[in-house]
Amino acid sequence: MRKHVWLFTLLAGGSTGMMAQESARPVFQSINTEVLANSKAYETLKESSIKIGHRLTGSANGKKAEQYVFDLLKSYGYSNVKFQPFEVESWSRGHVHVDLLDASGNRLEELKAVALAHSPVKVNETAEVVDMGNGLEEDYLANPEKAKGKIVLASLWLLPGSKQGAQNLHRSEKTALAIKYGAKGILLFNGVKNGVLLTGTASVTGKLNPIPAVCITNEDGLRLKEQLKEKSYSVKLSMHNFSGPIKARNVIATVPGTKYPNEKIIVCGHLDSWDLATGATDNGLGSFAIIDMARTFKKLNLQTDRTIEFVLFMGEEQGLLGSRAYVEQAVKNKNLDQVKYVFNFDMAGAAIGFTAGGRKEAEEFFKSTGESIKAMDTVFVNKSSAGGAGLHSDHQPFMLQGIPTATSVGNIPSDVYRCYHADCDGIDLINRQWMVDQVRFSAMMIYAMANVQVLPAKRMDDASTKQFLIDNKLKEALQIAGDWRWKGE
């Protein structure tokens, strides 16, 4: 095959890298042409939404979704597509009732509510409600006994007037703090208005919590917060849920590397969704784009120096269970060092740039490669940067091992995400072009990473990983979740 050479600035220090096989421009152009003409991302997401519905891990629908994606990748020509099974503690909702009582125990009203995952199987609890503000540790430390034996009311989002620089916590971490300070339950009120209810896991471990956690509406939460300033109220919380061990499966399709087959670029997103709707934005948007990236690579028969694994994880919503299982298996098999980079696409669409997950040494690679992508279409404005490091998606288990991660910057209106984890998260929210743009621009960036002569960031050692997490202000959240492995530090 004729070889072309493409030189571009690789590192901030000014060194250069070379991609073998074909230069960027012809390959990027072929990707652009193919995806614009033949993308199936939106169509397969829509078909899945109609034929399967939600994709809750451990449910019959979840199993159907795993098989649907497996068969889809097979139909695209991947003879090596495989399942990666793992066992999880499943959770599914039954009923929930939240009754507001006056100081004498008289029922005033039933609050609209939805149970948060990994609440206990059976609950029948009545206790006084106490306002714990944002539900952060500083709110408890102001009066460490206040929540003991009570049901906590806290905001999912940071409240207006919160201390400058305050860092919010995930709902699971807020629940863990309520447990730590002796609460009997927690009511978390949504930050989204107009009666939207949000579900999601309230467990930092992926296992059942000892106390119930529910989400109530923004309006009810703010109203109750004001009422508690004048009077005492109690809540009667009753619910019934289902839990038990089940098997789930990640789905993996591989493009073998021609030069460095044991160096892997992982392109991942979670296939699973919550059960209140069909999970179109979270994360049909990202996962079905990944499937179409895989289709594009196979259709164009793209060759890469490094191996690319397209991985659809299950169990993300219940505690990153599929990605944790992948990393645990790689550690056990002593081949985690093969994973050189992880692109995670969670609620990712309409890519207009990429972030390097807080790895500043990789910023120049993403910016310079982004300029070549921009040359294909100025819709991609190349809003690329080092970005920052965060938690609570499938990049996390890899990042905690020091592996560099990346994701895209999107251009989707923020109000689309108001239905995140809610009963309005359906296909009608999705613009087909968002998925087309995500596929074509991400495929270009992944192709560049898989062929670059010298990777822009490498796996950090243990000490450097620890400092990286501290610098990105992730230590507190990881300690609450039990994921901070540097005990006593």
Compute the distance between CA of residue 88 and CA of residue 84 in angstroms, rounded to an integer: 13
Tens digit of each residue's pLDDT (9 = 90 or more) over 287-336: 999 999 999 999 999 999 999 999 999 999 999 999 999 999 999 999 99
> b vs e for 103-132, b when ≥16 Cβ sit within 10 Å of the residue's Cβ?
eeeeeeeebebbbbbbbbeebeeebebbbb
Q: Across the chain, what does the average pLDDT equal?
A: 94
Radius of gyration of the chain (CA): 23
Q: How far is CA 153 from CA 41, 126, 176, 196, 203, in A?
A: 41, 14, 14, 17, 17
C-beta separation of 99 from 236 below 8 A? yes
- pLDDT > 90 fraction of the chain, expressed in percent and rounded: 93
Question: Which domains are assigned to the chain?
Answer: 6-80+256-458 (3.40.630.10), 91-244 (3.50.30.30)
Question: In the predicted model, is pLDDT for residue 1 greater than 60?
Answer: no
Tens digit of each residue's pLDDT (9 = 90 or more) over 193-203: 999 999 999 99
Tens digit of each residue's pLDDT (9 = 90 or more) over 81-101: 999 999 988 899 999 999 999
Alpha helices in 312-362 (DSSP H): 321-332
Question: In the predicted model, is pLDDT for residue 19 greater than 80?
Answer: no
Q: What is the pLDDT of residue 88?
A: 82
Compute the distance between CA of residue 472 and CA of residue 148 in angstroms, rounded to an integer: 32
Cα 220 to the center of its chain, rounded Å:
28
Strand partners, 266: 309, 342
Compute the distance between CA of residue 298 and CA of residue 371 in angstroms, rounded to an integer: 25
C-beta separation of 480 from 173 below 8 A? yes
User: Higher confidence at residue 245 or residue 19?
Assistant: 245
Question: In the predicted model, is pLDDT for residue 41 greater than 70?
Answer: yes
Tens digit of each residue's pLDDT (9 = 90 or more) over 88-134: 888 999 999 999 999 999 999 999 999 999 999 999 999 999 999 99
Question: In the predicted model, is pLDDT for residue 47 greater than 80?
Answer: yes
Lowest mean pLDDT of 1-5, 87-91, 485-489, name the range.
1-5
Tens digit of each residue's pLDDT (9 = 90 or more) over 400-421: 999 999 999 999 999 999 999 9
Compute the distance between CA of residue 337 and CA of residue 402 in angstroms, rounded to an integer: 10
In this prediction, residue 23 has a pLDDT band, given cuts at 50, 70 and 90, of low
Q: What is the pLDDT of residue 487?
A: 84
Burial label, 442 (beta-carbon count in 10 A; 0-12, 13-18, 19+): buried
Tell me the average pLDDT across 153-172.
96
Instruction: Give the three-class secondary structure for 116.
Output: coil
Q: What is the pLDDT of residue 117?
A: 96
Cα 408 to the center of its chain, rounded Å:
13
Tell me the average pLDDT across 59-79.
97
Report which DSSP code applies to 144.
T
Q: What is the pLDDT of residue 12?
A: 32
